[in-house]
Amino acid sequence: ELEHFEKILVDLDLQREVLAVHDPLARLPLEISSEIFLQCLPPLPEPGAHHVPMLFLNICNAWTSIALSTPALWASIH
């Protein structure tokens, strides 16, 4: 049974890699991806908007890496 779950994990990892290849944002230079993320922030700090950068962390590994490599996303504390 353990072998069955290990195969499922391997299959899921392969599927994730295939999907990541098709992510156009992941293929852009970091500077452009970061700017796209920054443009998603509200223009002025709003109550409840502090969670916006956190959303990027939940999409995929590539988006998490971009978000964590963009210090300006984390510049304001609410």
The values of phi and psi at residue 32, to 5°, are: -75, -45
For the chain, how far is it from start to end, CA to CA, in angstroms?
47
| b/e map 28-47, b = 16+ CB within 10 Å | eeeeebbeebeeebeeeeee
pLDDT-above-70 percentage for the chain: 88
Predicted local confidence at residue 24, as pLDDT: 78
Identify the band that residue 46 occupies on the pLDDT scale cut at 50, 70 and 90: low
- Give me the mean pLDDT over the 7-36 stretch: 84
- Give me the mean pLDDT over the 17-39 stretch: 83
**For the chain, what's the residue count?**
78
Number of domains within the chain? 1
Of the ranges 16-20, 22-26, 71-75, the best mean pLDDT one: 71-75
Give the CA angle between residues 38, 43, 46 to the nearest 5°.
110
pLDDT averaged over every residue in the chain: 83
**In which domain, by residue range, is 20 found?**
2-74
Residue type (1 letter), 56: F
- Which has more pLDDT, 65 or 45? 65
